[in-house]
C-alpha cells in the first residue's frame, strides 16, 4: 500500500524505476576483468608450478612437493595481505586472485587483521573465519557427500 | 516560531543563524577537488588512534571544537547538540562528544544525518528551546567497511556503482538571529522526508535506492512552497553519487521539474572520480557534511551563493536486513539555507 502511494506521487512504477536504474548504472568492464583475471590468476598458477618444479628438483617426492607448494603460496599470500599489498593486486585480479589457494589465505588473514582491535578471543579468534567459514562448512559437507558416493560405488 | 507551510515543510521565520562551521577530513578527501577548503586535513587515516572507531570519534570531536572556535564560543555556550554517524549505536558521536559536556541528542539518518541534525538544531533555535545548538556528523571509510562490508585487506572488487565512504566530519553551530544579526547564512525552511522504498536491493548501488527519496522530499518542498528548481542557486544533494544523481534528475524531469541547471551532488564533488578510483563517487554522513561545512557555507558567506537547498539522503538498511534479502528503504531531509 505504501509503495502504491509513492508510485502516484513520482509518476513512476517500481518496474519502470528498475529499468531506469539498469540503464543509469554503468556495467563492469567484462572484457578487461576477464583478461586480467586470466593473466593474474594464471600468473599465480605459473608461480605455483615454478615452486613445484623447484621442490621436485630439491629431491622431494610429488606428494610432498605439492604440499610444500601449497604451503609456500599460502604463506606468500598471508605475507602480502599483512603487508597490505594483496588487496591491491586483487583489485585488478578479481577472480584470478580469489579462486587460487592464495585467495583463501587472504580471506582468513584479512579478518584476523581487521578484528584484532576486538582482542584475541572475541576479535581474531571469533572473526577469523567470517569470510572463509562458508567455504569450510560447505567444502567439508561436500567432501563427506563425495566420500559417501565413493564408498557406495566401491561396495560393488 | 516555526510555521508549517503546505503539508510537509516548516518555515523558520527568524532565520536561525549559522554562527560557525568546520570540516575535518582524511587524506583521500584532502586530495580531492576541495582539499584546500577544509579546516583540517589528516594525513594519517588512523589519526594516531588504536582503532578506526576511535579515529572517527576524534574526527567528530575536532569538527565541533573547530566550529566552536570559529564561532568564538565554548562548549558550555551550546544548549544542545544533535549528532549521529553510521556505526552501530552511533558510537562515533557518543564517544567523540562525551568530553564536551553538552546536552546530547543522538540521531540516525544514515547519510542524511547532516541534514537531519541541522534541521533539528535549527528548529530548536527557532522555537526558543535553545539559544545555540550544534549539528555534527562523521563517517570513516575504514570503520564503515568493517561494519557494512568486508575486512579492509580482503581482496575483493568493487562494482562500478559502489560509492566510497568518506573519512570526514562536519559541524555547524546555530544561534538565534538576535545574537547574530549580521551572520550571513541562516536556515529558512526544513522539510523532513518520508521513507521511500522502490525495491532496490543492491547495497552496492545505494545512489539508486536513495534517488526516489530525494525526488520525493524535493517535490514535497517545491509543492509546499510553490517554487521551482531554478528559483534556487543550488540544489545540493548528498550523496547520490553518479547513478543516483542521474536517476534523481530523470525522476524530477518526469515530474516536470528540471533540476539539472542547478543540481550538484556532494558525492560527485568530494573526490576526483576519475583520478581517485572511487567508482560512483563518495558517500557516508561525513561526505555531505564536509562539503556543506566547507566550500558551500564559505561561498554562501561570501555571497557567491544565496539560496541553497541542501537535501541529505540516507539509505536505511543494515548488514542484517541486506543479508535477509530486504530492499533498501531511504529517506531524504531538506534544509533551505539562505544568505
User: Which residues of chain A does B51 touch, with a Cβ-Cβ cutoff of 8 Å?
Assistant: 117
Q: Which residue has the cell 570559529?
A: B70
Return mean pLDDT, chain A.
92
Per-residue pLDDT for A130 more than 90?
yes
Quote the CA–CA distance of B222 and A35 in Å, as a whole number.
Answer: 49
Please judge whether A25 and B160 are an interchain contact, meaning their C-beta atoms are less than 8 angstroms apart: yes
User: Which residues of chain B does A27 touch, with a Cβ-Cβ cutoff of 8 Å?
Assistant: 160
Quote the CA–CA distance of B288 and B270 in Å, as a whole number.
Answer: 8
- What ipTM did this prediction achieve? 0.89
Nearest CB neighbour to B161, from listed A26, A91, A107 = A26
**What residue in B sits closest to A85 (Cα-Cα)?**
B153
Domain segments of chain B: what residues? 15-175, 186-338
Nearest CB neighbour to A24, from listed B50, B196, B247 = B247
Cis amide prior to B239 (ω within 30 degrees): yes
**What residue in A sits closest to B241 (Cα-Cα)?**
A25
Chain A: nearest CA to B182, how far in angstroms? 40
Please determine, looking at this structure, whether the domain spanning B186-338 carries the CATH number 3.10.290.10.
no
Give CATH superfamily name and number for B15-175. Answer: Stage V sporulation protein AD (3.40.47.40)
User: Which residues of chain A does B208 touch, with a Cβ-Cβ cutoff of 8 Å?
Assistant: 21, 24-25
Interior angle at CA B139, CA A88 and CA B152, nearest 5: 25
Nearest CB neighbour to B216, from listed A6, A28, A110 = A6
Per-residue pLDDT of chain B (339 residues; tens, 9 = 90+): 899 999 999 999 999 999 999 999 999 999 999 999 999 999 999 999 999 999 999 999 999 999 999 999 999 999 999 999 999 999 999 999 999 999 999 999 999 999 999 999 999 999 999 999 999 999 999 999 999 999 999 998 899 999 999 999 999 999 999 999 887 899 999 999 999 999 999 999 999 999 999 999 999 999 999 999 999 999 999 999 999 999 999 999 999 999 999 999 999 999 999 899 999 999 999 999 999 999 999 999 999 999 999 999 999 999 999 999 999 999 999 999 999
> Is the Cβ of A32 closer than 8 Å to some Cβ of chain B?
no
Sequence-distant (≥ 6) Cβ neighbours of residue B191 within 8 angstroms:
B8, B9, B10, B217, B220, B221, B224, B333, B334
Chain A: nearest CA to B208, how far in angstroms? 6
- Give the pLDDT confidence score for residue A128 in this predicted structure: 96
User: Which residues of chain A does B251 touch, with a Cβ-Cβ cutoff of 8 Å?
Assistant: 10, 12, 17, 20
**What residue in A sits closest to B155 (Cα-Cα)?**
A87
- Grid cell listed for B328: 533498501
- Give the pLDDT confidence score for residue A1 in this predicted structure: 42
Nearest CB neighbour to A107, from listed B154, B242, B247 = B154
* Site from A2, A4, A10, A100 to mutate, B interface, most B CB atoms within 10 angstroms: A10
Question: A116 vs A87, A110, B139, CA distance in Å?
Answer: 18, 10, 21
Residues A28-55 pLDDT 10s: 899 999 999 999 999 999 999 999 999 9
- Give the pLDDT confidence score for residue A11 in this predicted structure: 87
- Give the pLDDT confidence score for residue B47 in this predicted structure: 96
Quote the CA–CA distance of B180 and B132 in Å, as a whole number.
Answer: 11
**What residue in B sits closest to A87 (Cα-Cα)?**
B155
> Is the Cβ of A26 closer than 8 Å to some Cβ of chain B?
yes
Sequence-distant (≥ 6) Cβ neighbours of residue B170 within 8 angstroms:
B21, B22, B23, B24, B63, B114, B136, B137, B138, B286, B288, B289, B290, B291, B292, B293, B294
> Is the Cβ of A33 closer than 8 Å to some Cβ of chain B?
yes
- Give the pLDDT confidence score for residue A9 in this predicted structure: 63
Sequence-distant (≥ 6) Cβ neighbours of residue B206 within 8 angstroms:
B111, B163, B241, B244, B283, B315, B328
Q: Quick check: B303 and B186 in contact, CB under 8 A?
A: no
User: Which residues of chain B does A11 touch, with a Cβ-Cβ cutoff of 8 Å?
Assistant: 254-255
> Is the Cβ of A2 closer than 8 Å to some Cβ of chain B?
yes
- Give the pLDDT confidence score for residue B183 in this predicted structure: 78
Domain segments of chain A: what residues? 29-154
User: Which residues of chain B does A110 touch, with a Cβ-Cβ cutoff of 8 Å?
Assistant: 150-155
- Give the pLDDT confidence score for residue A10 in this predicted structure: 84
> Is the Cβ of A31 closer than 8 Å to some Cβ of chain B?
no
Per-residue pLDDT for A154 more than 50?
yes
Amino acid at each position: 500500500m505504501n509503495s502504491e502511494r509513492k508510485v502516484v506521487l513520482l509518476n513512476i512504477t517500481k518496474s519502470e524505476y528498475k529499468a531506469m536504474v539498469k540503464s543509469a548504472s554503468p556495467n563492469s568492464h567484462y572484457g578487461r576483468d576477464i583478461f586480467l583475471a586470466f593473466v593474474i590468476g594464471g600468473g599465480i598458477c605459473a608461480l605455483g608450478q615454478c615452486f613445484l618444479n623447484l621442490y621436485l628438483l630439491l629431491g622431494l617426492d610429488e606428494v610432498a612437493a605439492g604440499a610444500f607448494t601449497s604451503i609456500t603460496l599460502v604463506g606468500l599470500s598471508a605475507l602480502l595481505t599483512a603487508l597490505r599489498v594483496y588487496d591491491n593486486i586483487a583489485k585488478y585480479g578479481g577472480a584470478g586472485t580469489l579462486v587460487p589457494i592464495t585467495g583463501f589465505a587472504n580471506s582468513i588473514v584479512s579478518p584476523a587483521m581487521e578484528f584484532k582491535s576486538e582482542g584475541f578471543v572475541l576479535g581474531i579468534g571469533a572473526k577469523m573465519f567470517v569470510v572463509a567459514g562458508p567455504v569450510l562448512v560447505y567444502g567439508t559437507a561436500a567432501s563427506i557427500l563425495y566420500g559417501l558416493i565413493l564408498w557406495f560405488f566401491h561396495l560393488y | 516560531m516555526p510555521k508549517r507551510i503546505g503539508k510537509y515543510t516548516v518555515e523558520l521565520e527568524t532565520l536561525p543563524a549559522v554562527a560557525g562551521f568546520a570540516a575535518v577530513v582524511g587524506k583521500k578527501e584532502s586530495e580531492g577537488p576541495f582539499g584546500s577548503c577544509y579546516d583540517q586535513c589528516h594525513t594519517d587515516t588512523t589519526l594516531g588512534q588504536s582503532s578506526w572507531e576511535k579515529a572517527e570519534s576524534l574526527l567528530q570531536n575536532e569538527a565541533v571544537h573547530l566550529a566552536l572556535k570559529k564561532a568564538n564560543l565554548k562548549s558550555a555556550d551550546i544548549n544542545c547538540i544533535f549528532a549521529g554517524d553510521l556505526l552501530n549505536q552511533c558510537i562515533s558521536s557518543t564517544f567523540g562528544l562525551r568530553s564536551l559536556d553538552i546536552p546530547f541528542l543522538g540521531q540516525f539518518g544514515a547519510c542524511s544525518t547532516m541534514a537531519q541534525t541541522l534541521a533539528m538544531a535549527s528548529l530548536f533555535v527557532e522555537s526558543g528551546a535553545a539559544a545555540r545548538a550544534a549539528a555534527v556528523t562523521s563517517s570513516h571509510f575504514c570503520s564503515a567497511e568493517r561494519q557494512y562490508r568486508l575486512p579492509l585487506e580482503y581482496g575483493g572488487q568493487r562494482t562500478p556503482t559502489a560509492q566510497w565512504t568518506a573519512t570526514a566530519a562536519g559541524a555547524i553551530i546555530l544561534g538565534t538571529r538576535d545574537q547574530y544579526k549580521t551572520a550571513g547564512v541562516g536556515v529558512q525552511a526544513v522539510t523532513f522526508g518520508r521513507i521511500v522504498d522502490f525495491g532496490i536491493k543492491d547495497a552496492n548501488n545505494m545512489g539508486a535506492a536513495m534517488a526516489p527519496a530525494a525526488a520525493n522530499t524535493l517535490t514535497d518542498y517545491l509543492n509546499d512552497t510553490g517554487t521551482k528548481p531554478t528559483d534556487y542557486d543550488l540544489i545540493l544533494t548528498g550523496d547520490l553519487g553518479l547513478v543516483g544523481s542521474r536517476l534523481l534528475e530523470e525522476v524530477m524531469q518526469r515530474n516536470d521539474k528540471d533540476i539539472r541547471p542547478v543540481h550538484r551532488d556532494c558525492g560527485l564533488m568530494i573526490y576526483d572520480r576519475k583520478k581517485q578510483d572511487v567508482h560512483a563517487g563518495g558517500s557516508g554522513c561525513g561526505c555531505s557534511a564536509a562539503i556543506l561545512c566547507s566550500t558551500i557555507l564559505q561561498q554562501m558567506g561570501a555571497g557567491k551563493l544565496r539560496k541553497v537547498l541542501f537535501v541529505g539522503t540516507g539509505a536505511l538498511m543494515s548488514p542484517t536486513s541486506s543479508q535477509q534479502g530486504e530492499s533498501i528503504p531511504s529517506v531524504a531531509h531538506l534544509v533551505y539555507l539562505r544568505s
